[in-house]
Chain A
Amino acid sequence: MDRLSYVGKRLLHLIPILLGISILVFLLIHLIPGDPARVLLGPHAPAKVVAAQDKAWGLDLPLPVQFVNFLGGLLHGNLGTSLTYQEPAVTLMASRLAATLWLLISASILTVVITLPLAVAAAMRPNSWIDHAIRLIPLVGLGMPAFWVGIILLLVLAESTGWFPVGGFGTDFLSHLHAIVLPALTVALGIAPITVRSLRAAMLEVLQADFVTTARAKGLAERRVILAHVLRNAIIPAITVFGLNIGWLVGNTLVVEKVFALPGIGALMLDSILSSDFPVVQAIALVFAVLVVVVSTSTDILRSLVDPRVKLG
């Protein structure tokens, strides 16, 4: 099979997953114990309003009909209407998109920046003190709640020193950049334990390979051996691990946006939960899941491009 049809096949595989995601999100409202509109609008809402809301959601219709309506809405870009703002959830999300994209992209970059040198340093001198120190990171790091790391960073790098803003997103490119450093660092520190550990393990395995000896037998500088031969092979499993954990990274942005008062989609979701704005919560859960599936499919495709051996089956 050639690469193009492999890509096509991966994309085709997306369809049942996306359908499944929409089913799960659709079913969320039916998990609410009791009458959803009553629960969400509160005990003081007039009965008429509650009944009208149930009707607006079509909850009186048979389940399959409801789902078809829901799916039809999705295909038209209608992800429901906010109870709080009386605005389409899509519009609300769009207004919050910038901050979340900034955070996701800069956190991904920072993850790479943190992971590469640490994993390389550890793998090049296995069992040295630097290796032992770096191997402690996953053990400690996995147990650190992202929001708490954010608070500590705020305390040290914002409150005490004033180097970074305490929260918010700024108004122009430079102030965005300034404001995103700490949140992005927090998210990156949340996932780095996983990526450092997997890249180190992958590099140690590659270092044992015969072709590394071939490279050294050419008399190449150790730097060239590591970068061109070891890292290039070790990066493949690391990409896979990153793709599998992209959900972890996205999930952490939710909490981190809250800590740093970033006007992003994650913070919107948490705010909507506090105001019982169900349609917005539902829409955001859907969008995040789709985002994760798309990213992990992309990493799969990327891996097939980086690794000539990948079985395109």
Chain B
Amino acid sequence: MAVAIVPVEREVSRGRSRPWYRRPTLTIGCSILFVIAFLAIAAPLISPYDPTAQQLTAVLQGPSTAHLLGTDEYGRDVWTRLLYAGRVDLAVGVLAVVTPFIFGTAVGLVAGYYGKALDVIVNGIIDIVQAFPFYVLVIALVFVLGAGIQGVFLAVAAVGWVSYARIIRGGVLVAKREEYILAARAAGFSSARIMFRHLLPNVITQAIIFAMSDIVVVIVGVVTLGYLGLGVPPPTPDWGSMIFDGQTFITTNWLLPTIPGIAVVITGLGLSLVGDGLADAARPE
């Protein structure tokens, strides 16, 4: 969303078309995401602790066999909280990308296809929303909508859809003039059929590739809102609020603010690798 353009790199020479599982970036990226998803989903099975249960006799402990990554200032197990926080952040992140993806795609498709006044209005809204720095608008929206999971989701989605609308609209404007669309029109197909069966498959790829980098930005955004105290209310763990809480103990227990950040970075790396691999595979050789 805010990262409007991350140009896809063009390589000078490249091997022959390989199946997806032979592309190292895709394979590594998928493996990372698989492990993260597994850890988040299976959190209750992996960790014996309750992520919110305080144990004031064992606060701020370093890593040990009982507590893999130590404990925080309330004696809560950091490893457990990390896993449960991942559930929250990833779920909100995915939802806050999928929803605007669908909505923005539909709006871009309709605006691009019908054009005229509708297109002018949609284009105007896109321009205006994109004028705002991502964080500024999202934070202002969370503020008026109310902090918490719902506010964060609504705010991110309200800002995010315009990117998809812009990408799809641009693609439709080009594809609309292609012969196969003219042929479909000449054949008397309904507008809905032309839009969804003929136009959409030709323009959706760019939106999917963008979604892969967008989801990184959104997850980082959700974590940032958590850090600013606008996300999930305590004591439910979230990577952002874990970093905020740990920051107080940075000199004595530097692991506390560092670990959740590394979790974000690894998640982002996995998603970026998959995104790169997809962009690669989508490019005509």
Contacts and interface: CB of A to CB of B under 8 A. Distances in A.
Tell me, yes or no, whether A binds B.
yes
Interface of A: 16-17, 20-21, 23-24, 28-29, 31-33, 126, 135, 138-140, 142-148, 151-152, 154-155, 159, 194, 197-198, 200-202, 204-205, 208, 237, 240-241, 244-245, 247-248, 250-252, 254-255, 258, 269-270, 273-274, 278, 281-282, 284-285, 288-289, 292-293
A197 B8 CA distance: 9
A254 B261 contact: no
Interface stretch (B46-54, B64-72, B174-182, B220-228): B220-228
B136 A284 contact: yes
A145 B223 contact: yes
Given A31-B144, A247-B130, A204 B230 contact: no
Contact of A143 (B129, B146, B258, B265): B265
Nearest to A241: B5
A24 B128 contact: yes
A154 B4 CA distance: 29
Contacts of B5: 198, 240-241, 244-245
11 contacts: A20-B128, A29-B144, A32-B145, A142-B220, A143-B266, A144-B264, A146-B224, A147-B224, A241-B7, A285-B140, A292-B133
B254 interface: yes
A139 B8 CA distance: 13
Interface stretch (B103-111, B193-201, B267-275): B267-275
Interface of B: 2-10, 12, 124-125, 127-137, 139-141, 143-146, 213, 216-217, 219-220, 223-224, 227-230, 240, 243, 247, 250-251, 254, 257-258, 260-261, 264-269, 271-273, 276
Contacts of A245: 2-5
Given A23-B128, A247-B2, A254-B139, 4 more contacts: A17-B131, A144-B264, A148-B257, A274-B229
B265 A251 contact: no
Contact of A152 (B146, B227, B261): B261
Q: Is the interface of B mostly helix, strand, loop or mixed?
A: helix
B132 to A, nearest CB: 5
Nearest to B268: A143
Q: Is the interface of A mostly helix, strand, loop or mixed?
A: helix
A144 B268 contact: yes
B133 A247 contact: yes
A58 to B, nearest CB: 18
Contacts of A155: 250, 254, 257-258
A151 B243 contact: yes
A155 B7 CA distance: 33
Contact of A144 (B128, B247, B265): B265
B122 to A, nearest CB: 12
A248 B247 contact: no
Given A148-B261, A285-B140, A198 B132 contact: no
B135 A251 contact: yes
Contacts of B140: 28, 281-282, 285
A144 B213 CA distance: 13
Contacts of A29: 144
Residue with the highest number of chain B CB atoms closer than 10 Å, among A126, A138, A144, A244: A144
A255 B137 CA distance: 13
Contacts of A247: 2, 4, 130-134, 136
B224 A255 contact: yes
B135 A252 contact: yes
Contacts of B266: 143
Contacts of A202: 7
Given A31-B145, A197-B9, A270-B139, A147 B132 contact: no
A205 B8 CA distance: 12
A21 B131 contact: yes
B129 A33 contact: no
Contacts of B125: 20
A251 B2 contact: yes
Nearest to B143: A273
A250 B4 CA distance: 14
B7 A197 contact: yes
